[in-house]
Structure 1
């Protein structure tokens, strides 16, 4: 009887979602991505191994223990020497007496705005006056007037544009922005929206010696992305992706989850971003909760029924076979996995949880190596890698997964609307990836510090 009720519930949920999707299409409430434009800073902002080493040496607050720890993190980060940093850090102005200037962050954003908005308007043929919705997310920089107001002023957008400015939302903010857009689309037909996603590194460089706060300096790099979206059915033939579903999970009510990734001052008064030891456990819990809610909307009916059967027999299997766990095969409903490249541990952890192959993880690994963790814009560089490699074909489904402070796990499923072969931010280097051997330049330079008498890879 229990099995019958569970099966009936599954059928009901499955067909209800199917009918709902058809209803939304009928009402022209679909959310399409017309295009997206990832930012590639100029070459004079690249952080090669020697420059990174010099930046580390400039921090006079580091003792031998912190210095060893920092170089060890850099060596194992999975980041190459083609990533980009802000100009104030490269020029050695991260420790001015008055602290990093807010203008360093605004200048960093202006470079990003100039390059990507120019691309968007030139390639799409859309003018600033055509934009109905603007959502900006930059977690660590919140000037007044807001960055969204700066964009409206810079490009002379309409007086009735719907504007949103998000801060403090972390690496999963771009999917939150997409969620805002799709909800507006439901009650406003034939709209055009731009999501602006980036992070401000310049004013937020940590100059102290707390190991939990040094990590952010090692992983985060400069970048950003603009995403052009519409619900206008007359433009769907120009679209690249259609949003199938989006799911958000927030564990902020838990003190441990709230405090595991947080901006704070250390004991010496230096401002930085703390990444706690409990972060992996919290991220795993949020990840599985998110996927549990997402599964009925992503997986085919056959896989859902198999999951139910495994779940009902799990207790018996534990007693008889010594503990077999229930597993959902997301690859049965997903063709590509767009994983946030927050670090090698994040990529490896998601890969193990979903039982993904190295082919599935390749876009995230290569993005981490080439561009680093660019916060909320990272997923779009991963998506760009897939497109540059000609992996994305009409009808394919792409699962985008992101994590953020709070603590949050957000995910969404995109359907590829047409075969994608457009040039993008990877154009000049995609032929180099994946290399036969992924060289770690930091290992070669900092793997052994002979003059100090210790190994950085122990």
Structure 2
């Protein structure tokens, strides 16, 4: 009798064993973020209105029309007077940058954030198994990852990946890479470093499509520590729930809407065309078609199918129209790429001022720091003590190519640590963002501009 019972029970016990084994394997594949450190440049790099004006007026190629365009763009950009510029630009050497300038800029950002990351997390460089560095506009030999390995004397078996050319959404691409590596390697610790090489890519011509990048992009960076070791789960800040990448590179118009090239006069720069909003809307639409069923509750999906007929493709402000994203998400971490991107995304997802406040304030305080921008937004949420255990955070990014990379995080603990916002968080939110450029420099006309250039 006991033998028969054992025979009958064996299949069920075996199935239970397989299910248990699968669940254990899934737990090993989780991606936890343990710590992150954003970069705060020295105060002598701060781009006040006067410093910005001096940088603009140094460009002898600008006429009064270009000057007025810059004036209008800076005023409407959503960027304040506390952002930071690269050292060589602040010192007036943007016309002839050197490789030393580029490496010095990267070393300062990368090593400052990593030093703090190791110090505050308690991890040693020798405990890191995977290292990913993403800087889109700088590729050196040896690579930037090799510079990190050399500086911290990391183990010879550390897995290193150097990502270039991926633009503002590269941070999520790096995390996606780590997440896939975590699926095949147990108990791994990984670091992602996100920044951008601004100083040696400062545009010095007069084409308006290129000048826009000078108005938006600023110096910054972030280092993050991840693990799939479930025994470290209690130390995690957030856990990755899902991640989705969309690429419209096959579409010629989308491919060329953000493009690094030379202008008609031979000056290199980063061109942002009028097709960018349309490309962003198309990429966002395709991404949400797959992402939404994974992040919103079934009742909201059913309601949407009943009241709506189709997705809107042509306008960023209408992409998610009809869906109530707040049924499954508490916080929206929108890349602070510019005021138009933040506002357009907010309208499409039907978000209010409270939801958009972190991205708007990060743009005002730090500017567009490219792939590092998310983490300044997350830092704002943490500094304001918004992030509670169990909350969901949707990160939304756009990047050259054209790409839309989004992911959902779950908050693992009440987040309230001190961070890079410490000395300025009490000044935010700013109810009305006023840029003083028009007030201080609108008096400049052709004659005065010529006089300034001559002197």
* TM-score normalised per structure 2: 0.90
- Distance verdict in 2 for CA 1:24–1:63, change over 3 Å: farther
**Alignment counterpart, residue 139 of structure 1, candidates 119, 132, 136:** 136
- Report the counterpart of residue 79 of structure 1 in structure 2: 79
Which of 405, 413, 422 is the equivalent residue of 1:410?
A: 405
Query: 1:328 & 1:390 partners in 2: Cα distance?
Result: 27
Q: Which residue of 1 aligns with 2:39?
A: 39
* Number of the residue aligned with 2:4: none
User: CA separation of 1:292/1:133 partners in 2, compared to 1, >3 Å: closer, same or farther?
Assistant: same
SS in 2 for 1:52: helix
Q: 1:452 to 1:367 in 2, by over 3 A?
A: same
Q: Which of residues 146, 165, 169 in structure 2 aligns to 1:149?
A: 146
Residue in 2 aligned with 1:219?
216
Match of 1:111?
108
Separation in structure 2 between the aligned mates of residue 453 and residue 24 of structure 1, nearest angstrom: 74
* Contact kept in structure 2, 1:337 and 1:398, CA below 8 Å: yes
Matched residue, 2:422: 427
> 1:235: how far off?
0.5
**What is the rounded CA distance, in whole Å, between the counterparts of 1:294 and 1:306 in structure 2?**
17
Give the Å deviation of 1:310.
Answer: 2.2
Partner of 1:449: helix, strand, or coil? Answer: coil
Q: Which residue is equivalent to 1:294?
A: 291
Return the match for 1:397 from 383, 386, 392: 392
CA distance in 2, matches of 1:396, 1:418: 9
Q: Is the 8 A contact 1:251 1:286 kept in 2?
A: yes
Could you list the runs of 5+ residues in structure 1 that have no partner in the other structure? Answer: 1-18, 316-324
Match of residue 305 from structure 1? 302
- 1:199 maps to what in 2? 196
| 1:114 to partner: Cα distance | 2.4
**Could you report, residue by residue, the CA deviation over 1:169-193 in whole angstroms, capped at 9, with x for unpaired residues?**
0000000000000000001010000
Give the CA deviation at 1:421. 0.7
Structure-2 separation of matches of 1:42 and 1:396: 34
Counterparts of 2:244 and 2:277 in 1: how far apart (Å)?
A: 20
Change (3 A) 1:271 1:124: same
Q: Measured at CA, do residues 453 and 302 of structure 1 come closer, stay the same or move farther in structure 2, by a change above 3 Å?
A: farther
Q: Aligned in 2, Cα 1:326/1:428: closer, same or farther, shift over 3 Å?
A: closer
Do residues 442 (structure 1) and 408 (structure 2) align? no
Q: Does 2:263 correspond to 1:245?
A: no
Shift, 1:452, TM fit: 5.4
Deviation sequence 1:233-290 (CA, Å, 0-9, x none): 1101000000000010000001101101010001111000000111111111111211
1:388–1:430: 8 Å Cα contact kept in structure 2? yes
Cα distance between partner residues in 2 of 1:190 and 1:119: 23
- Tell me the CA shift for residue 103 of structure 1: 1.3
Contact 1:310 1:326 in 2 (8 A): no
Q: Is the 8 A contact 1:244 1:412 kept in 2?
A: yes
- What residue is the counterpart of 2:359 in the other structure? 364
What residue in structure 1 maps to residue 49 of structure 2? 49
The CA deviation at 1:36 is: 0.7
**1:116-139, Cα deviation, whole Å (9 max, x unpaired):** 111011111111100000000000
Task: Determine the C-alpha separation between the residues in 1 that align with 2:349 and 2:27.
Answer: 35
Is residue 64 of structure 2 the alignment partner of residue 67 of structure 1? Answer: no
Match of 2:375 among 374, 380, 386: 380
- Do 1:172 and 1:408's aligned partners in 2 also have CA atoms closer than 8 Å? yes
Are 1:172 and 2:169 counterparts?
Answer: yes
Change (3 A) 1:252 1:24: farther
CA deviations over 1:139-173 (Å, ceiling 9, x no partner): 00111111011111111111001100000000000
Once the two structures are TM-superposed, the CA of residue 306 in structure 1 deviates from its matched residue by 1.0
Contact preservation (8 Å) 1:24, 1:30: no
TM-score normalised over the length of structure 1: 0.89
Are the counterparts in 2 of residues 307 and 326 from structure 1 also a CA contact under 8 Å?
no
Q: CA deviation at 1:326?
A: 6.0
Q: 1:377 and 1:435 mapped to 2: Cα distance? A: 22
CA shift for structure 1 position 26: 4.2
Residues 184-218 of structure 1: CA deviation (Å, up to 9, x unaligned)? 00010100000000000011011111110000001
Partner residue in 2 for 1:120: 117
Take 1:343 and 1:379, find their aligned partners in 2: how far apart are those partners? 13
Name the residue aligned to 2:315.
Answer: none
Q: How far 1:330 sits from its partner (Å)? A: 1.0
CA distance in 2, matches of 1:427, 1:49: 23
